[in-house]
Amino acid sequence: MQKGQIRVQTENIFPIIKKFLYSEHDIFIRELVSNAVDATQKLKTLSSIGEAKGELGDLRIDVIIDKENGTLTIADKGIGMTAEEVDKYLNQVAFSSAEEFLEKYKGQAEANIIGHFGLGFYSAFMVSDKVEVFTKSYKEDAKAVRWECDGSPEFIIEETEKADRGTSIVMHLNDESKEFLESFKVKETLDKFCKFLPVPVFFEDKQLNNTSPAWTKKPSELTKEDYENFYKELYPFSETPLFWIHLNVDYPFNLTGILYFPKIKQSYEIQKDKIQLYSNQVFVTDEVKDIVPEFLMLLHGVIDSPDIPLNVSRSYLQGDPNVRKINAHITRKVADKLEEIFNKERSSFEEKWESLGLFVKYGMMTDDKFLEKAAKFFVMQDVNGKFYTLDEYKIATETLQKNKDGKQVILYTTNPVQQDAYIQHAIAKGFQVIKMETLVDAAFINSMEMKWPDTIFTRVDADIADNLIDKSEDVESVLSKDDTEKLKKLFEQPQDNLHIHVEIKGLNDTAPPVTATRPEQMRRMKDMAAIGGGMASFYAQMPDEVTLTVNGNHPVYKNILASANVEQQEKLVQNLADLALLSQGLLNGKNLTRFINRSVALIEQQ
């Protein structure tokens, strides 16, 4: 028997490991099972080159609970260790940088430092009062060895009896970690970290992992059903995805994975953090913000890169050049896939636009490289269901929809039902009205106006007359100058919390008697204020600016102006104004109450 002290300058190393090595204690299972996988894979490699003799046997990893003795064991049939290797790897290498570790991490709240100091094995001490290692090397005539340590610098190495090659780590769990004697807890942790490890992992005589997940295979080996079945394996209760992208790169960085576009019917269904990051099939994290472009955080799936170490941290991700390359590669692959589908299956692409539009618009706002590529497949749907690319829309509206500055005006609706009267009026004039009714569209419109300098967006119920060069409805007014002034005064009756501007125009007699419009930019500010934001309270308190465009040629005014009852004139005109305001959602509070009471009174007079 050999007794000794682990070579470390201070006796405080173990308390620090227990407290600061990992932020999540259950990660010790990942570390020890990953080590077992490494030992197994090394044996396969040595066997393939003839250095390991004999049959490999059933290469598997077993996780075993012994409630009676209070132990959790992780056992493999890998390369094992000799007594010299145990002394080297468990007593020396792990603590070769102990002083540097203490200097760097003592006093910190947490430190994910796996891989920096070879401390993965020592995660066992986070949950154990004592750890025993039983191991037997693959080398011929190797003696089995038992190593024991109780969390102090003292250790024991002695020969022991072990029939099979490999290593068993037996953890005598401490009082705070007895939950790992419960099968549901161990299974939950194995499912989280070890679901796709390349070596079979058994627990309670059942294999828990898929050793050959879809992303480890070549795309040519997989069918549509294979991809969809793997999606179900990842997300059992989700709908079938729209389509997917298989990542497979080995230069200048290593990256494999499958990213799925999920169905998103409503913006409020968006769920981020659904992409899982692996390193050689070992689960690392589902917080992949710096690896995957932000706008693609809405995707689902798996990415696997051995170039991203297990000690993944925000500072590492933000500074690593490989991560930046991976980020750019994923953006390019997604853009290429969308362009390919658009070109080959445009009708199918358009059918999926309700879900795809969210990804595409978000990407166009946040990633200029994606914006450049998206010009080829970004589409807009009009109120009749027809889709246009930006170039197609510009061609369709070239003659009618340009403002006084020569900018192309994209007319849009945020609510086709509520804004129907305006839409019909615009269509009658030959305008093309597109739908912008998702939660992301307000931000998208503001962003694109900055990125597309020759284009502006105008809501269909905004001040169209001033923004579009179209005089087809302008005709000579039938009203005298006196009647025009009288009608204007009748419409200028005050309204609570509204600034009313009245203009009398000579329009076609089929045009509405009065139309309410609001300046586009002011309305946007008010809409943003309703959601909240920096200047929200300021804009929320401002009265709405409303222009009432009165069609003086409409027959209704001939009858109103002919009446000798001034009070009746005021009521009728105010009702017409209120109906226009109602169509804009601007009639509420006392104004709405007055409208209802006035309408009842007018009916009673009939």
Amino acid 115: pLDDT: 38
Picking from 439, 467, 495, the residue at the C-terminal end of a domain is: 467
HSE, CB side, 13 Å, CA atoms: give it for residue 289.
Answer: 7
Q: Is the dihedral of CA 465, 466, 470, 471 positive or negative?
A: positive
Tell me the C-alpha distance between 337 and 184, whole Å: 41
Tell me the C-alpha distance between 462 and 520, whole Å: 6
Band of pLDDT at residue 200, cut at 50, 70 and 90 = very high
Band of pLDDT at residue 316, cut at 50, 70 and 90 = low
Look at residue 425 and tell me if it is in a domain: yes
Is 441 found in the same domain as 489? Answer: no
Band of pLDDT at residue 473, cut at 50, 70 and 90 = low
Look at residue 456 and tell me if it is in a domain: yes
**DSSP state at residue 382:** B
Tell me the C-alpha distance between 419 and 413, whole Å: 7
Amino acid 265: pLDDT: 61
Other C-beta atoms lying within 10 Å of the C-beta of residue 464 = 24
Please answer whether residues 162 and 134 qualify as being in contact, where contact means their C-beta atoms are separated by less than 8 angstroms. Answer: yes
Please answer whether residues 136 and 145 qualify as being in contact, where contact means their C-beta atoms are separated by less than 8 angstroms. Answer: yes
Q: Read off the amino acid at residue 79.
A: I
CATH number for position 170: 3.30.565.10
Average pLDDT value for residue range 442-471: 77
Other C-beta atoms lying within 10 Å of the C-beta of residue 459 = 24
Amino acid 15: pLDDT: 61
Average pLDDT value for residue range 26-49: 88
| Residue-averaged pLDDT of the chain | 82
Average pLDDT value for residue range 502-529: 77
Lowest-confidence segment of 21-35, 36-50, 111-125, 144-158 by average pLDDT: 111-125
Q: Is the pLDDT of residue 537 over 80?
A: no
Q: For residue 248, what are the CA distances in angstroms to 215, 254, 290, 303?
A: 8, 8, 19, 10
Q: Is the pLDDT of residue 429 over 60?
A: yes
CATH number for position 513: 1.20.120.790
> At 3, phi and psi to the nearest 5?
-115, 155
Look at residue 172 and tell me if it is in a domain: yes
Average pLDDT value for residue range 145-149: 93
Name 211's Cβ contacts closer than 8 Å, sequence gap at least 6: 196, 197, 198, 199, 200
The closest of 135, 165, 163, 139 to 52, measured between CA atoms, is 139
Q: Is the pLDDT of residue 464 over 70?
A: no
Q: Is the pLDDT of residue 159 over 60?
A: yes
Lowest-confidence segment of 116-125, 263-272, 397-406, 572-581 by average pLDDT: 263-272
Residue 303's H or E segment, with its range, is strand 300-304
Is 180 found in the same domain as 73? Answer: yes
Is 38 found in the same domain as 182? Answer: yes
Is 128 found in the same domain as 39? Answer: yes
Look at residue 361 and tell me if it is in a domain: no
Look at residue 26 and tell me if it is in a domain: yes
Percent of the chain with pLDDT over 70: 83
More confident residue, 65 or 495: 65
Name 241's Cβ contacts closer than 8 Å, sequence gap at least 6: 228, 231, 260, 261, 262, 263, 300
CATH number for position 258: 3.30.230.80
Is 436 found in the same domain as 292? Answer: no
Tell me the C-alpha distance between 486 and 263, whole Å: 57
Tell me the C-alpha distance between 595 and 573, whole Å: 11
Q: Is the pLDDT of residue 108 over 50?
A: no
Look at residue 474 and tell me if it is in a domain: no
More confident residue, 475 or 79: 79
Q: For residue 490, what are the CA distances in angstroms to 244, 476, 504, 505, 564?
A: 62, 21, 11, 15, 14
Is 430 found in the same domain as 309? Answer: no
Q: Is the pLDDT of residue 272 over 70?
A: no
Q: For residue 207, what are the CA distances in angstroms to 58, 64, 194, 552?
A: 13, 13, 11, 82
The residue range of the domain holding 400 is 378-467
Is 141 found in the same domain as 19? Answer: yes
> At 142, phi and psi to the nearest 5?
-70, 140
Structure confidence by residue, pLDDT tens digits, 211-247? 999 999 999 999 999 999 999 999 888 889 988 999 9
Look at residue 28 and tell me if it is in a domain: yes
The closest of 109, 120, 130, 115 to 27, measured between CA atoms, is 120
Q: Is the pLDDT of residue 67 over 90?
A: yes
Structure confidence by residue, pLDDT tens digits, 564-592? 888 888 888 888 888 888 877 778 888 88
Is 230 found in the same domain as 155? Answer: no
Is 547 found in the same domain as 498? Answer: yes
Q: Is the pLDDT of residue 117 over 90?
A: no
Amino acid 475: pLDDT: 62
Q: How many domains does the chain have?
A: 4
Amino acid 13: pLDDT: 55
Picking from 207, 229, 261, the residue at the C-terminal end of a domain is: 207
Q: Is the pLDDT of residue 19 over 70?
A: no
CATH number for position 413: 3.40.50.11260
Q: Is the pLDDT of residue 2 over 70?
A: no
Inter-axis angle of helices 98-105 and 13-20, to 10 degrees? 50
Strands 379-381, 154-159: pairing is unpaired
Band of pLDDT at residue 97, cut at 50, 70 and 90 = very low
Band of pLDDT at residue 605, cut at 50, 70 and 90 = confident
Q: Is the dihedral of CA 105, 106, 108, 112 positive or negative?
A: positive
Tell me the C-alpha distance between 137 and 144, whole Å: 7
The structure tokens listed for 130 are 């004592």
Is 319 found in the same domain as 297? Answer: yes
Per DSSP, the three-state class of 421 is: helix
Please answer whether residues 428 and 457 qualify as being in contact, where contact means their C-beta atoms are separated by less than 8 angstroms. Answer: no
Is 67 found in the same domain as 196? Answer: yes
Q: Read off the amino acid at residue 64.
A: I
Is 185 found in the same domain as 95? Answer: yes
The structure tokens listed for 93 are 């290498």
Per DSSP, the three-state class of 214 is: helix
Amino acid 271: pLDDT: 58
Q: For residue 32, what are the CA distances in angstroms to 26, 81, 160, 349?
A: 11, 15, 22, 46
Residue 287 burial by CB count (10 A; 0-12/13-18/19+): exposed, middle or buried? Answer: middle
Name 434's Cβ contacts closer than 8 Å, sequence gap at least 6: 380, 381, 382, 383, 388, 393, 410, 411, 412, 413
Amino acid 303: pLDDT: 92
Cis peptide before 252 (omega within 30 of 0): yes
Average pLDDT value for residue range 396-425: 86
Look at residue 373 and tell me if it is in a domain: no
The closest of 481, 470, 483 to 511, measured between CA atoms, is 470
Picking from 421, 439, 467, the residue at the C-terminal end of a domain is: 467
HEC secondary structure over 249-271: ECCCCCEEEEEEECCCCCHHHCC
Cα-based angle 596, 597, 603 (whole degrees, multiple of 5): 90
144 DSSP β-pair partners: none
Structure confidence by residue, pLDDT tens digits, 327-373? 888 899 999 999 999 999 999 999 999 888 888 998 999 888 899 99
Name 170's Cβ contacts closer than 8 Å, sequence gap at least 6: 71, 72, 73, 131, 132, 133, 134
Q: Is the pLDDT of residue 533 over 60?
A: no
Strands 300-304, 275-279: pairing is parallel
Amino acid 268: pLDDT: 47
